[in-house]
Amino acid sequence: MLLTHIRKVLRRPLASYPLSEGVTNLPSMPIRDLRALEFSQRIADPLLVIDVQRRSFGADKDCTILTLGNATGRIESAPFWGAEQAAVAGVAAGDVGQVIGEVAEYRGKRQLKVTSFRVLPRDSVDYAGLMPSIGDIEPFWKRLDQWREDIAGPRLKAVLALFFDDPDFRQQFEQCPASPMGHHAQLGGLLKHVWEVAHIGRSIAASSGADRDLVVAGALLHDIGKVESYRWNGVFGYTDRGRLHGHVVLGSLMLDRRLREAPEPVCTDTEEMILQHLILSHHGRTELGAAVPPMTLEAEVLHYADNASAKSASMADALGDSENFTGDELVSSRSIWQLDKRRAWRGQSDWGAPGP
């Protein structure tokens, strides 16, 4: 039921969303931009519970803090202290609450002082405005399917078809986020990330002499394991397999399984080894989750294309998140884990020219 609804969300053409600053995937229902909330502002909105933290500071000093969000962003609640916690007892990540509250200030940051929280029945919830999504998926599929079609080698094409001609796999792939909290943490984020990796990889291949078709195949296959590693049923998170095996290993196993299940050999043993190497090495270094470092030109290109997509998306997200900055400060007030604990600078210039 929920996944069917998510599919409808992703199918909705981008043009049907009332676009607002920096957000390209807002649904047609009115939705409050959480990034634009001001101190003392009152709200009464349905919000998704992204996280529930229960903290204890000693006897009779327990509190609960909710992280609440919608497609535009997130905000933490002020702590529910002591008996106030009864109002949110049993509330879990993935629930949606009708929230009434006022934006308060704590150490220069916004937090929501919740005065009323009522959990809404799941089947009454319109998740369209609550989970971040990439919006219309069709342009991404169109380009990726075209690049797949352009591949010259029939065996390489046939391996990709084992996944990308399978409607069930496509549905999972187009819904899956590229990460639960990092880069492209959106419904459809994996599809967009893979489109970026293929796009960047093709460019590097053109200038480096790498086999462009193999780079495209690597882009399409490198993160297939994420569809088994992540869940997106109301909130983004990990599956047990994702936690225990990780998406690199799961992707390798998925490729192995599909090749074994094919009625006839789809490619040679050497070709299978080359494709497995692309999946297993795409994180670049073993301390970053790669089983082996890249040892082919195409694996090297794939690794840097993957990183370019992930890091540039994370930088753009960090600069667009007002929670990272205090007042008018240009340098972020905190180190950002998605950027390997770097800070970000949001200054800019028009360079003196109005433009054409």
What are residue 39's phi and psi, to 5 degrees? -60, 140
Number of chain positions touching Fe ion (CB under 5 A): 2
306 binds Fe ion, rule: CB under 5 A: yes
Residue number with CB closer to Fe ion (96 or 290)? 290
CB of 306 to Fe ion, least distance (A): 4
Residue whose CB is less far from Fe ion, 135 or 201 = 201
- CB 206, CB 213: distance < 8 Å: no
Burial of 253 from C-beta contacts in 10 A (0-12 / 13-18 / 19+): middle
How far apart CA 264 and CA 250 sit, in angstroms, is: 23
Q: Is 196 among the residues that bind Fe ion (CB under 5 A)?
A: no
Is 91 or 249 the residue whose CB approaches Fe ion more closely?
249
Name the minimum Å distance from CB 253 to Fe ion. Answer: 14
Q: How far is CA 99 from CA 48, 103, 197, 268, in A?
A: 10, 12, 39, 58
Instruction: State the distance between the two ends of the chain, measured CA to CA, in whole angstroms.
Output: 49
Q: Select from 41-49, 108-116, 303-311, 341-349 the region that touches Fe ion (CB under 5 A).
A: 303-311
Q: How far is the CB of 182 from Fe ion (least distance, A)?
A: 10
One-letter amino acid at 151 equals I
Inter-helix orientation angle 269-281/247-261, to 10°: 160
Of 83-91, 161-169, 221-229, 258-266, the segment contacting Fe ion by CB under 5 A is: 221-229
> Tokens for 133?
């999504």
Residue 213 in contact with Fe ion, rule: CB under 5 A: no
- Stretch in the footprint of Fe ion (CB under 5 A) among 20-28, 60-68, 220-228, 235-243: 220-228
Which residue, 136 or 306, is less far from Fe ion as judged by CB? Answer: 306
The yes or no reply on residue 228 touching Fe ion (CB under 5 A) is: no
Tell me how far apart the alpha carbons of residues 52 and 73 are, in angstroms, rounded to a whole number: 16
Query: Which H/E stretch holds residue 46?
Result: strand 42-56
> Is position 223 an interface residue for Fe ion (rule: CB under 5 A)?
yes
**Cα 265–Cα 268–Cα 271 angle in degrees, nearest 5:** 125
Residue number with CB closer to Fe ion (148 or 247): 247
CB of 3 to Fe ion, least distance (A): 23
- CA distance linking residue 10 with residue 27, whole number of Å: 10
44 — phi, psi (to 5°)?
-140, 95
Give me the least distance between CB of 283 and Fe ion, in Å please: 6
Alpha carbons 67 and 112: distance in angstroms, whole number: 9
Q: Smallest gap, in angstroms, from Cβ of residue 281 to Fe ion? A: 11
Query: Which C-beta is closer to Fe ion: that of 298 or that of 306?
Result: 306
Q: Shortest distance, CB of residue 222 to Fe ion, whole angstroms?
A: 6
Q: 73 or 188: whose CB is closer to Fe ion? A: 188
Nearest to 71 by CA among 37, 32, 101, 110: 32
76 belongs to the binding site for Fe ion (CB under 5 A): no
In angstroms, give the least distance from the CB of 334 to Fe ion: 25
Q: What residue ranges bind Fe ion (CB under 5 A)? A: 223, 306
